[in-house]
Amino acid sequence: MIKAIQSAVTALVNFTMLSVPSYALAGEIVLKSSDETVVVSGQFAGFQRDVYVVIYKGYVLQVPAKDMTCQGDDCLTLHPPK
């Protein structure tokens, strides 16, 4: 029984390591609110459902993209230029 649990845990850890992106390669971004009262900087980890995902000091921050500007090489172009 213990061997089965150990195998399951090992498989889960291996799967997680393969499925989670490496944040070490992520670029630094800075998010600023339109009035600049909110400034968030960290490593870009993704963009899902109009939310930036940023890693800051080991914490995962989810910042709504609405009314935010992004600075940095890894920023996404949300609205194509007209």
Residues with Cβ within 8 Å of residue 77, at least 6 apart in sequence: none
* 3-28 pLDDT, tens digit each: 544 444 444 444 444 444 544 556 89
The secondary structure of 23-47, three-state, reads HHHCCEEEEEECCCCCEEEEEEEEE
| Domain boundaries defined on the chain | 23-75
pLDDT reading at 34 higher than 70: yes
The whole-angstrom distance between residue 39's C-alpha and the CA centroid of its chain comes to: 16
Q: Which residues lie across from 41 on neighbouring strands? A: 30
* Average pLDDT value for residue range 35-43: 93
The mean pLDDT of the chain is 75
- More reliable by pLDDT, 10 or 72: 72
Looking at the domain 23-75, which fold is it?
SH3 type barrels. (2.30.30)
